[in-house]
């Protein structure tokens, strides 16, 4: 993550990734719950 990462702000970077990863994680969790029905 280091190359070119000398501005933009660590908090901004973390916040933006969190913004997209929270819905994705929720979707994966819901799908994984459904997948558990296989076992």
Partner 1 sequence: MAGFLDRSRTIAPAGYNRWLIPPCALCIHLAIGQVYAFSVFNDPMTRLIGISEPAPGDWSLATLGWIFSIAIAVLGLTAATAGRWLERVGPRKGMFVAALFWAGGFLVAGAGAAVHNLWLVYFGYGVLGGIGLGLGYISPVKTLIRWFPDRPGMATGLAIMGFGGGAMIGSPLAVNLMNAFSGPGSVGVAATFVTMGLIYLVFMMVGAFAVRVPAEGWSPAGWTAPAAPRRLQTTRNVHVDVAIRTRAFWLVWAVLCLNVTAGIGVLGQASVMSQEMVGVSAAAAAGFVGLLSLANMLGRFFWASLSDVIGRKATYSTFFILGLLLYAAVPTLAGWGVAPFVIAYLVILTMYGGGFATVPAYLRDLFGTDYVGAIHGRLLTAWSVAGVLGPVLVNYLREAQIASGVPPAQAYSLTMYVMAGLLAVGLVCNLAIRAVAERNYLPADSAPANA
Residues in contact with partner 1 by the rule CB under 8 A: 1, 3-9, 12-13, 16-17, 19-20, 23-24, 26-28, 30-32, 34-39
Going from the C-alpha of 22 to that of each of 11, 27, 36, the distances in angstroms are 16, 9, 21
Q: Which tokens belong to 1?
A: 């993550």
Minimum Å gap between C-beta 36 and partner 1 is 6
Minimum Å gap between C-beta 7 and partner 1 is 4
Helix (H) or strand (E) holding 22: helix 10-35
Minimum Å gap between C-beta 3 and partner 1 is 5
């Amino acid at each position: 993550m280091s190359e070119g990462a000398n501005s933009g702000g660590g908090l901004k970077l973390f916040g933006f990734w969190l913004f997209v990863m929270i819905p994705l994680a929720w979707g994966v969790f819901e799908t994984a719950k459904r997948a558990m029905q296989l076992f």
